[in-house]
């Protein structure tokens, strides 16, 4: 059993990860509607990864004899003005997740919950990778025209992306 405050925070993050998956599906829809199926695939894979992250919290909670509690999901942003708008929203979302993970680490440290600290190590590494990925893509997309030759080449590249576990 975990302290109630930590259990509640872990459940909040479980739901935050589900919310992120929900948001990435909405971002995929933007690209699908525009006919950029590679970018849509990138975001659908991203959505599945966020769901995978949520399930890590689910399984950790159950392993610690706690109950995962599902909360309502908010409607994600569904209207974007450009690919760069989607990408910048993605980076902002990942930065929020990183902040949430850091807060969980701080709380677990204060409560001397070493198992939780160990569990959260994976997420710290994952968030560093996620933020870098979006910063790199933003750098690439900022210098090109949406729908242009290089953008379409990126679309083809993203069409081959698969979920890594």
Annotated binding site for Fe cation: 17, 50, 53, 94, 127
Annotated binding site: 17, 50, 53, 94, 127
Measure CA 98 to chain center.
9
Of residues 100, 113, 128, 129, the one with CA closest to residue 14: 100
Q: What is the largest CA-CA distance in the chain?
A: 55
C-alpha 28/C-alpha 19 separation (Å) is 14
Instruction: Look up residue 104 and give its two tokens.
Output: 């969980």
């Amino acid at each position: 059993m975990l302290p109630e405050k930590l259990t509640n925070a872990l459940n909040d993050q479980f739901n935050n990860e589900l919310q992120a998956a929900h948001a990435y599906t909405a971002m995929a829809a933007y690209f699908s509607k525009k006919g950029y199926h590679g970018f849509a695939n990138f975001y659908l894979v991203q959505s599945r990864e966020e769901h995978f992250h949520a399930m890590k919290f689910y399984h950790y909670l159950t392993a610690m004899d706690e109950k995962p509690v599902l909360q309502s999901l908010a409607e994600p942003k569904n209207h974007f003005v450009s690919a760069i708008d989607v990408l910048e929203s993605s980076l902002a979302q990942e930065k929020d997740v990183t902040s949430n993970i850091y807060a969980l680490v701080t709380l677990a440290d204060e409560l001397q919950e070493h198992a939780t600290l160990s569990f959260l190590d994976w997420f710290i590494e994952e968030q560093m990778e996620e933020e870098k990925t979006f910063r790199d893509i933003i750098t690439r997309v900022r210098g090109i025209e949406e729908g242009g030759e290089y953008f379409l080449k990126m679309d083809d590249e993203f069409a081959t992306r698969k979920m890594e576990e």
